[in-house]
Each structure stands twice: as C-alpha cells, then as structure tokens.
Amino acid sequence: MTRPLLMLDVDGPLAPYVGSPYRRPEGYLTHRVPVRSWRERQHAAGIRNPRPLRVWLHPDHGPALLALRYELVWATTWKDEANEHLAPLLGLPELPYVDWPSMHHDDPDGLHWKTRHLVAHAAGRPFAWVDDEIEPRDTAWIAAHHPAPALTLTVDHRCGLRPADFALLADWAEVNGS
Ligand SMILES: [Mg+2]
C-alpha cells in the first residue's frame, strides 16, 4: 500500500496568523517557541533578548492528520525545527521534511518558490500540498509537470485548516491512494 504524500506548510495552515495579535482563532492554544531562525532574525534586527516566537496551534490537528491515509511531510521554512518544536505540541511523531535547496527565490514563471521543489520531492508519487500561498498558476504548473495526481489546497492563513479541509483531504486520499 502506497499512500499519497501530504506536503504540509506550517505558517497559515497549522499556525494561523492575523493582523492583530489578539484575535486567536477558536480552538487554538498559544505557545511560545524558541525557534533558532526567528532568534537569528531578531538579533540581526538589533533586538537583543527577543521573546520566543508566539505560535497558535490546534491540539486536534495532530491526531486529525495522523488519521488521514497519507505519508506526512513537512513542507515549510521551519524544516527540521518543525520536528523539534511543533510536532510534540501537535502530538505528531518526527516526520520527514523537505530540505529546500533554496527558499524565497523568484521564479521565472512566477511560481511559488516551493512549487518546483515539491514536484521534484514527490518524484512521481501522488501528493497533496496544503499551503496558504498557492496560486492557480502553481496548480496549473503542477498539473502539467507532475505525472501523478496532485491536490493543491489553499488555506486561509487567518483560520488555518478547517474540518472541511480534512474532509477533502480524506476523500482525495480515498480516490488517489493505492
Ligand atoms: Mg504559509
């Protein structure tokens, strides 16, 4: 049995964010996470003792993800720090992660910087990609360049993953798993 891959962005789908720091979506818990890359950026900006990064996570998301018939893969700038800091808070085991060869670069076709990397990482396997920054041109490019089925699921970064998203992912795996 081969399950499809589920490429998981963190900021937006699992860790929603809004303009105001005081509008935490319902059901989420607030965590303070000592992220290395965050601390380095704060230091670079001249902030001597930055507070750990505030992250909102939903305690049901880990179990809900594990219940899906996918192989979970971190597809986030958090890279291995998602395993270190977020997996324990979400109730997830250590997961494989995409070790991006480059991040935040411009793309000649205006694609998201993750798009080509994810298709390469999937290596011909069916995959779903959950992210708050997917544009229609990314979906079209994947459909044209990836030989297996792919689902792109754009999540509203203010709300994070919702029950309807989990239902869609479950249905898709049902049809596209083998
Ligand atoms: Mg994101």
Question: For the segment 115-168, what is each residue's pLDDT rounded down to a tens digit?
Answer: 999 999 999 999 999 999 999 999 999 999 999 999 999 999 999 999 999 999
N residues, the chain: 178
Give all strands of the β-sheet with 150-154 in edge-to-edge order.
71-74, 5-8, 127-131, 150-154
| CATH of segment(s) 5-15+59-176 | 3.40.50
Residue spans per domain, the chain: 5-15+59-176
Residue 83 has pLDDT above 90, yes or no: yes
Ligand 1: centre distance to CA 108 (Å): 21
| Cα-to-centroid distance, 55 and ligand 1 (Å) | 13
Distance 48 CA to ligand 1 centre (A): 27
CA distance 80 to 138: 25
* Alpha carbons 172 and 149: distance in angstroms, whole number: 10
C-alpha 113 to ligand 1 mean position (Å): 12
Q: What is the pTM of this model?
A: 0.94
Where does the pLDDT of residue 1 fall: very low under 50, low under 70, confident under 90, or very high at 90 and above?
Answer: low
Centre of ligand 1 to C-alpha 77, Å, is 9
The rounded distance, in Å, linking the Cα atoms of 171 and 163 is: 12
48 has a pLDDT exceeding 80: yes
Whole-number mean pLDDT of the chain?
Answer: 94
